Amino acid sequence: MIETLANMTELAPGELILCTGAIFVAAIVRGFAGFALSALIMASVVTILPPVELIPVCFLLEATASLMMFRGGMKEADMRIVWGLAISSAVGSPIGLYATTTLPVDTSKLIALTLLIVLAALQLFKVRIPLLATRPGLYFSGLTAGIATGLASIGGMVVALYVLSQEKAARTMRASLVMFLAITMFTTLIYLLYYEVLDMMAARRGLVFAPVVIAGVLAGSWLFRPSLEGFYKRFCLILLLSLAGVSLVRAL
């Protein structure tokens, strides 16, 4: 069985097992937090598969997770926030992509990650940022997320940071992140198809790992229970700090 799956994914049996474990853990986090599947996969599996091969696989696995969580997300999300972030992010992405041709990408990524760490740390220590509670703050955050996506592929972290800054119930924050990721799947698909990155190998790997994601998301969603909702925001902020910190160290 393992040999067959290894041949399908063009991975050694040991690599397949490592990837399966990493993806399962990332899916548990996605099921609980509502985000971070791709970021965790990229951080842990990039030593086995290069980013250009991981990106389309992450897209397919994110799509799997989004389909599973879509129904609950639609009922509990603050769709005003979701649409505001999604539309302004779509406007910002081309700006970020254009900037990559005129600015040093590594420098831009360092600045974006450092800012993200500072803002997440401020939230963790309960320092209020008044701008984030306003309507202009909503569109500014979405625009910034789009630019960050084009520059450094960390737009999802910016959106997560904005959603976590709202004084809303944990279920609403989580559902809003789920719905944002579900909506932006369509623009990501266009991008992947345009650059011909989504190929048959990515499809086979996505098919093999999809059941792992389903199992992980179910486990993470089971963990998201009333007794643990009080820890949700702190967990997500620490997760953001950790992801940004690892990315910053790697960039340096």
The pLDDT tens digits for 86-139 are 999 888 877 876 776 676 767 766 777 787 788 788 888 877 777 777 888 899
Residue carrying the six token digits 């991981």: 54
% of the chain residues with pLDDT over 90: 31
10 Å Cβ neighbour count for 190? 9
Tell me how far apart the 2 most distant CA atoms of the chain are, in Å: 55
The pLDDT tens digits for 223-248 are 998 888 888 988 998 998 888 888 87
Q: pLDDT band for position 31 (50/70/90)? A: very high
pLDDT at 101: 62
The residue count of the chain comes to 252
Of 27, 25, 22, the residue nearest 66 (C-alpha): 27
Helix axes 155-165, 79-99, angle to 10 degrees: 150
Q: Does position 190 have pLDDT exceeding 70, yes or no?
A: yes
pLDDT at 151: 66
Q: Average pLDDT, whole number, for the chain?
A: 85
